[in-house]
Chains A and B, each alone.
Chain A
Amino acid sequence: MTSSAGTGRAGGPRLAAPPRRDRYAFQNAAIALGLAAVVFAAITGVRVGNSGVGFSDVLQILWSKLTSNPPTDRAQLQAHNIIWELRVPRVALAVLGGAALAVAGVLFQGLLRNPLVSPYTLGIAPAAAFGASIAIVLFGGSVHGGPAPLVVGALFFAFLNTALVLTLASARNLNPTTLILVGIALSQLFGALTACIQYFAEDEVLAAIVRWTWGSVNNSAWYQVLVLLALVVAVFPYVRLRSGVINAIAFAGDDPAKSLGVPVSRVRLECIAIAATLTAVTIAFTGIIGFVGLVAPHIARLVVGANHRFLIPFSAITGALLLIVADSLGRLVIAPGVIPVGIIDALVGAPIFLYLIITRQKAVE
Chain B
Amino acid sequence: MTLSISSLVVGYGKKTIIRQASLDVARGEVVGLLGSNGAGKSTLIKAIAGINRHGAGSISWEGRTDLSSLPRRELAKIVAYVPQSIGLSFSLDIREAVLLGRTPYFGAHPREEDWRHVEEAMRLVGLEELGERAVTELSGGQGQRVLIARALAQDPQVLLLDEPTSALDIRYQWQTLNVLRKIARERNVAVIVSIHDLNQAARFTDRVVFLHQGEVLAAGRPAEVYSPELIRKVYGVEVELAHHRGFVQVHPLEEEAPESFAPVEAIPFPLRPAPAAATARFAQTSYA
Residues of A at under 8 Å CB distance from B?
1-2, 4-7, 9-19, 23, 110, 113-115, 240-245, 247-248, 250-253, 255-263, 301, 305-307, 309, 362-365
Contact = CB atoms under 8 A, between A and B. Distances in A.
B210 interface: no
Nearest to A262: B103
A306 B92 contact: yes
B115 interface: yes
A15 B120 contact: yes
A304 to B, nearest CB: 12
Given A14-B120, A259-B76, A245 B115 contact: no
Interface stretch (B82-90, B227-235, B265-273, B278-286): B82-90
A16 to B, nearest CB: 4
Contact of A2 (B70, B104, B107): B70
Size range of the interface on B?
Answer: 35 or more
A362 B91 CA distance: 9
A296 to B, nearest CB: 15
Contacts of A365: 91, 136
A364 B72 CA distance: 33
B176 interface: no
Contacts, number: 151
B54 interface: no
A6 B75 CA distance: 13
Contacts of A306: 90-92, 96
A7 B155 contact: yes
B23 interface: no
A16 B51 contact: no
B192 to A, nearest CB: 13
A259 B81 contact: yes
B178 interface: no
B64 A1 contact: yes
Interface string B139-158: 00000000000100011110
A357 to B, nearest CB: 13
A252 B149 CA distance: 13
A241 B107 contact: yes
A251 B119 contact: no
